[in-house]
Amino acid sequence: ERGHTILHTVADLFSSPPLLLLTKFAGALLPVSSCSLYINPPPFSHSLSSTTIAPISFQLLSLSLSLDSLHRLPRKDKMVKICCIGAGYVGGPTMAVIALKCPKIEVAVVDISVPRINAWNSDQLPIYEPGLEDVVKECRGRNLFFSTDVEKHVFEADIVFVSVNTPTKTRGLGAGKAADLTYWESAARMIADVSKSDKIVVEKSTVPVKTAEAIEKILTHNSKGIKFQILSNPEFLAEGTAIKDLFNPDRVLIGGRETPEGQKAIQTLKEVYAHWVPEDQILTTNLWSAELSKLAANAFLAQRISSVNAMSALCEATGADVTQVSFAVGKDSRIGPKFLNASVGFGGSCFQKDILNLVYICECNGLPEVAEYWKQVIKINDYQKNRFVNRLVSSMFNTVATKKIAILGFAFKKDTGDTRETPAIDVCKGLLGDKARLSIYDPQVTEDQIQRDLSMKKFDWDHPLHLQPMSPTTVKQVGVVWDAYEATKDAHGLCILTEWDEFKKLDFQRIYDNMQKPAFVFDGRNVVNVDKLREIGFIVYSIGKPLDAWLKDLPAVA
């Protein structure tokens, strides 16, 4: 209870000094000497037989304890409970690391998808991330739990993280750009409905600026007297290194209301992260700054990739080498070397979605020039993927109809099984549009996922799995194999679309011997040794590198 708590207790039994008053309040044994005692005039005479306890008469005591004085009394600590709604790429790893680093905090990850939760409770986790399995196995069943009983764990939690899908809208106002907050709103209404105690609700999903304000209104108008504090705690994880990033984050960002209650909520969440993150790396801002910082960070990173990809096209036209150019540029301490690797294009669940969201927000706030600036980042990314397909088709006598093309790598980057917005989808669809036959190999992506990605409409991937097509239409021109050599056997061309380390170690002489001639390699990640492959006999195209003599004789690719 808040304020002063009045405990009316009849003392049944006292031990020898120090005098102890037995109570179950907060699970504590409270010494009477440390409490403020107010002895009410007895409403009735009550004495106890000397043969039962002691030759003393006891009266009804009214014990008044303030919460502050109670906090100072020796007692059993109450375990803080955290619940995370959404057991995906963000919720699962983040909560697993919190459970590992905070053994006195009980963490429950909940999701309505039964197959996903079953996978989290099995030896085959639903997502691949280096180091994740070890963390989960150490904590699961101790203070980390995965459950489909969403309402139960939300009811019990002190802090509720919300990490649900925020897909791009496909219809209605803002279609193709604005974030669809259907799942977020549904989660907020459920939290308000089942809560019987005050809670801190934390935005973990990437959301538009001012989402917290909307969620706050939903919670407040459905609160039934319960108080909620909304915090924004955006994730800055890079898939493939998520566990490493969680162990040693560049920063943890927490945004909240600039009120005493809001600042108290920020401090509560800050104390969770402070178990392992240095205090100077835990940044606190207002809600809107935290929400916008996430969108801005992803926009800046994507912008760097589009910038170097734009340079790669110019390098091919002039005979420059984009790896040498980016290395020289990255040596400038003001720029730095990260995110300057030219490729077939960026992918993942955040970059395109967040930039489109940013564009929509700019348009809604009367900033068309700013919106147009960020649109160009997406346009260059689409241009790069189209340019790669056009280069491949034009190199192979301007047609790939009925030709077998090996695709090595389907995930959007190495060390993850995530295929959301992977450039491989657009490249494969472009080749399939020209009637090519594809043989795909990726060490972490299943055949079902590949078929699903190639048959789904744009943006459908970001809806929960149970709302996606259960039995995706099988693309007959696509075969999925579990060996790079099988994928390349009898192929006319080979595309590298993910930078898996194993692709650098392949026996390319063996691959060449088993391919149709002339044998083509199209390296969309710049992972192969171009000179060695040309010595073997391959015709090689590598993003942003000086063109093969074969390619120089062909028309320029727009």
Q: Binding site for NAD(+): residue ranges?
A: 86-91, 111, 116, 164-168, 205-206, 239, 350-353, 420
Residue 417: HSE in the Cβ half-sphere, 13 Å Cα cutoff = 18
| 58 CB-near residues (< 8 Å, 6+ apart) | 10, 11, 46, 48
Question: How many other C-beta atoms lie within 10 A of the C-beta of residue 366?
Answer: 8
Q: Are 154 and 110 in contact (CB under 8 A)?
A: yes
DSSP one-letter string for 205-221 = S---TTHHHHHHHHHHH
Q: Are 324 and 288 in contact (CB under 8 A)?
A: no
Element housing 200 (H / E): strand 199-203
DSSP one-letter string for 143-164 = TEEEES-HHHHHHH-SEEEE--
Task: List residues with catalytic annotation.
Answer: 350
What distance in Å separates the CA atoms of residue 267 and residue 257, rounded to the nearest whole number? 12
| 278 CB-near residues (< 8 Å, 6+ apart) | none
What distance in Å separates the CA atoms of residue 542 and residue 322, rounded to the nearest whole number? 10
What distance in Å separates the CA atoms of residue 340 and residue 355, rounded to the nearest whole number? 19
CA nearest neighbour of 98 among 84, 78, 85: 84
